[in-house]
């Protein structure tokens, strides 16, 4: 499933004009970069978290899909700018503005300017499980082992 049409509403008229519309940077990009639709630069102090508007809403519509908002690796690794919710999950029936929780987990202040690329949006397949209550599971190789049960190396 390489291409999927998803409806988008532009909520900030600067998007597609002075602020570029989010797009896949390369043919093979998994995510498109979301941009901060701020009115003025925002300085995040160490430890500070702010909810930033992206100026757009998407309606994924298909319950077999979801959106994920993920950090950009450069921002996270070099500047400590990650997501306040670690990962954002966008339901297929959500029609509101895509919002990005930006958390400065670093030790220095960081300024986000209007239009800066702050996170990335990925569309992923989803399965809604039909949970069947059972008394016991049929045996598996792992069983109940977890959290390092297979050894440290």
Distance (Å, whole) CA 95 – CA 59: 5
17 binds ligand DUT (CB under 6 A): no
Nearest by Cα to 96 from 130, 141, 56, 50:
56
69 binds ligand DUT (CB under 6 A): yes
Is there a binding annotation on residue 72?
yes
Q: Which two tokens stand for residue 11?
A: 């909520």
Is there a binding annotation on residue 51?
no
Residues 6+ apart with CB under 8 A from 142: 149
Rounded to a whole number of angstroms, the minimum distance from the CB of residue 79 to ligand DUT is 19
Q: Which stretch binds ligand DUT (CB under 6 A): 6-14, 84-92, 123-131, 145-153?
A: 84-92
Q: Which residues bind ligand DUT (CB under 6 A)?
A: 69, 85, 88-91, 94, 98-99, 101
């Amino acid at each position: 499933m390489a291409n999927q049409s998803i409806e988008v509403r532009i909520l900030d008229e600067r998007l597609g004009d002075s602020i570029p519309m989010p797009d896949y940077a390369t043919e093979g990009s998994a995510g498109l970069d979301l941009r901060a639709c701020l009115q003025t630069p925002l300085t995040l102090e160490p430890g500070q978290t702010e909810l930033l508007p992206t100026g757009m809403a998407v309606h994924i519509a298909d319950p077999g899909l979801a959106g994920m908002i993920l950090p950009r690796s450069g921002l996270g690794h070099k500047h400590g700018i990650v997501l306040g919710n670690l990962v954002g999950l966008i339901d297929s029936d959500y029609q509101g503005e895509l919002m990005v929780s930006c958390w400065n987990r670093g030790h220095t202040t960081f300024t986000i300017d209007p239009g800066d690329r702050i996170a990335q949006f990925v569309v992923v397949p989803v399965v809604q499980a039909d949970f069947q209550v059972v008394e016991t599971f049929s045996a598996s190789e792992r069983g109940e082992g977890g959290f390092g049960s297979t050894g440290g190396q």
